[in-house]
Every structure is written in C-alpha cells, then in structure tokens.
Amino acid sequence: MVLHPADPLTALAHGIGSQHDLPISPFYAFAGAFTALFVSFLALGLLWSTSRFRGDRSGLALPAVLQRVADAPATRTTLRGLGLAAALAVLLHLLLGPDDPADNPAPGAVYVLLWVGLVPASLLLGPVWRLLNPLRTLHRLLSRVLRRPDPGRPHPGRPLPARLGQWPAAVGLFGFTWLELVAPDPASTTTLLIALATYATAQLLLAARYGEHWFDDGDAFEAYSALLARLSPLGRRSDGRLVLRNPFHGLDATPERPGLVATVSVLLGSTAYDGFSDSPSWINALQTSPLGRTPAATLGLLASIALVATLYCLCAAATRLVSGPHPGPLTAFAHSLVPIALGYLIAHYFSLLVVEGPRTVSMALGTDNAPEPASPLGPGALAALQVIAVVTGHVLGVVAAHDRSVRLFPPAKAVAGQLPLLALMITYTVGGLSLLLN
C-alpha cells in the first residue's frame, strides 16, 4: 500500500505508519488497560452469576416492510450485480492499468477497500460479503448456463465434510495475509492477477463439487465478514426475522466449529505480525537472514499465528483443569477472541482506511488529481483511539468469556475457571499495546 505515493519504497507499507512515535505514555496506557481488565473481571464475578446472552434467539424484530425490502429478489440481485461489476472493474485495472500502485486503484481496492473496508461494513450491516461476493454470483451464473439443478445445494452424494468446518477459510485468510505482508511485490499487477486468478479458480472448482454452500466456510472473505458481523447490531433470529440486537447475543451465537480457533488466530496473529514487521530489529533480521527475506518473513508470520493459537490452547487446557472437563473446551471460548481481533484491526488499520480508502476511490473515478486526503485525527487522538480499541476489545472478550463460563460450569468453579482466560487477555493486551507503543 502507498502511504506516500511519490516514494516507491513505501509500496509494501500497510500499517499505520508512525506507530513507533505515538504521543502517549506507555505507563498510562498499560495502567489503564490492566485497571479496565481487573475491574471488569471483578465486577463480573460479583454481579454476573447467570448467563444473560441468548444467541440467535434474541433481538427486536424490525418492521416487516424493511425485511421485505432486504429480502426482495431485486435488492439481492442489485447487490450481486454491484459486487460483480466492482470485481470486473478491478480486473480491468489489473489488466490494462499501469503497474504502479500510485496510479492504479486495483491494489488499494483489494488491500484497503476489501480487506479493511469489510470491517466497518460487516459491523454496521452484517455479513455483507455473502451478497456482494462475485465468486458466488459467478457460480450461480455458471450453474444456470450449464443447466445444473438447484445450484444452491450441495451435489447429491457429495456433502461437504463436517470435519472441515472453517479450516478452508483459515487457510485462505493465511494465504491472503501472506500475499499482503510477505510476498516480495504484493502491489504488482502481475502478482495480484496470479493470486486472484488462482484463488477464484480454486473456489469455483470447489463450489462446483460441493455446491454454493461451499462459500459459507470455504471462502475466506465470507467467513471473515460473517465472523465480524457477529458483533453487528443487525442480525437474524433463528426464525429468520431481521432484528436489532445486543451484539453480545450475536457473538454468543458463533458456531463452535472446527477451524474457528485457527481462523481467529490468523486474524490476530497476522495483525500482530503487521505491527511487528515495521520494527527496525525485525527489518534488520530479514535483511541479514541466511534464508532470504521471503522465507524468513513467512516463518515470522507463521510463528506469530502459532503463538496466538498456542496461548489460547494452553488457556483452554488450564480451564479444563480448573473447572473440570467439558465436551469442547477448545472452541467453547473461541468466540471471546473475536472482539479482541476486531480491536486489533481497528487499531492497526483505521488510519489506512480513512486515508487510502478515499484516495483509491478518487483514482478509480479518474479524479486522482484531487488533494491528498489526510487523516481526520491528529497523532494524539489516533494514539488514544488505538489504545481504546485494543483495551475495549479485551474487555468485551472478558465479558463474553464470563457469560459462557457461568453457563458451562458450576458457580463455584465458573469464576476460578476464568483465571486462565484473564491471564490470556492480559498477555494479548501487553503484546498488542507493545506493538503500538514500542
């Protein structure tokens, strides 16, 4: 991504740029974070003795006319058409545009508008990528052209293996973050064309085998959008009604499926690696590594993701020892990592979205001679936003974990069983704030 278009050396930058000089005291940041976590933990232990979240059974139904408009075939067809048109525009820019991210909006469309823009879009509107996904639309069109019956259902005799769960999405997310953070020239039109063509071909072939439901968990961006949409105030009850809800209810309804921990670990680990990769020590390590830059960076990204996953698995094992066995302790509290991942995403990519997003749109509309957009926040306000996002994400994670704990375990063990989770939250908080403030 290009934070300073005149300088080609910044083409790989994707973080917030000046994060190493944020004008905020590390002491106050860490003290505030620890205070917020401990106070919330103690308050929940004293005042929250029974589960209050009801998953997809909750929500205030919106007026029927709004639901009819949202579910109308015309609305859905329009959204699918917009998604397909946007994908074709990106493809044309990659094929015909200059191989320079300063003059071609395609890299910004992929790395900023899609990857980062899906965060606020999913939080406000729900799992929007399901309707915009051009690959799902292409699959439907191809199924109709080939006259295959009922393209929205898996093929008879070819059900999607339940053990896969969200593992395909986790692998896809890792591939995208590798392209973004590790690949030698991620903004090159050739690199993007090869990567997008490979991904689209694999997705369409797998959807041809398993049916349209493949995209629910097999498409990395649909799974990414759906996971973030768990915290949206808009959702659907189990009866299909469109509702306004407490975001915690949507988070509580997160399915405990194989690959969920891996998916969240990729989001957390890759974002942490993005912050760490700007440090002079890591840049020097990459430059002097006998393996070469790309293999060393790949190992660094894998290590960051593995560290996040290992810490969570150790926490789950400790919870089992303290509170007693549970049929699925590994995934039982994985939903509590989603607000943490959201806090990391906001902290690291808010500035990128508000600065490079408008610039990308301006280039796509042919008005790239407009003044360079600037961040609406000054350095102090940006630093405060980043710290607040990280700390708030962890506090929300504590709340979600506590509610699940009092539901699963006896009262005498529910609070004690959260001590490993609290230690995990503190560890993640220290790591997240260190990446921002060090």
Q: What is the pLDDT of residues 301-311, one digit of tens each?
A: 999 999 999 99
The residue-averaged pLDDT of 260-280 equals: 88
What pLDDT score does 278 carry?
79
* HEC sequence for 377-395: CCHHHHHHHHHHHHHHHHH
pLDDT per residue over 141-180, tens digit each? 988 887 655 544 544 436 778 788 899 999 999 999 999 9
Distance CA 168, CA 384 (A): 36
Sign of CA dihedral 375, 376, 382, 385: negative
| Burial class of residue 423, CB neighbours in 10 A (0-12, 13-18, 19+) | middle
Among 6, 8, 368, 369, which Cα is nearest to 188's?
8
Among 118, 114, 68, which Cα is nearest to 87's?
114
| Burial class of residue 27, CB neighbours in 10 A (0-12, 13-18, 19+) | exposed
Specify the amino acid at residue 272: A
Distance CA 112, CA 190 (A): 18
Residue 291 has pLDDT above 50, yes or no: yes
At residue 256, the 3 state secondary structure works out as: coil
More confident residue, 321 or 109: 109
pLDDT per residue over 361-385, tens digit each? 888 887 656 556 666 777 777 777 8
Predicted confidence band at 9 (pLDDT cuts at 50, 70, 90)? very low
What is each CA distance from 181 to 173, 239, 283, in whole angstroms? 12, 41, 13
Predicted confidence band at 16 (pLDDT cuts at 50, 70, 90)? very low
More confident residue, 16 or 82: 82
What is each CA distance from 236 to 105, 230, 435, in whole angstroms? 35, 10, 37
CB proximity list for 206: less than 8 A, separation 6 or greater: 168, 214, 218
Predicted confidence band at 284 (pLDDT cuts at 50, 70, 90)? confident
Name the one residue in this structure whose structure tokens are 């306000």: 381
Range of lowest pLDDT (50-54, 213-217, 325-329)? 325-329
Distance CA 205, CA 198 (A): 11
Helices (H) and strands (E) in the chain, counts: 20, 3
Residue 320 has pLDDT above 80, yes or no: no
Among 209, 228, 211, which Cα is nearest to 220's?
228
**Phi, psi for residue 340 in degrees, rounded to 5:** -65, -45
What pLDDT score does 175 carry?
95
313 with 303: CB under 8 angstroms? no
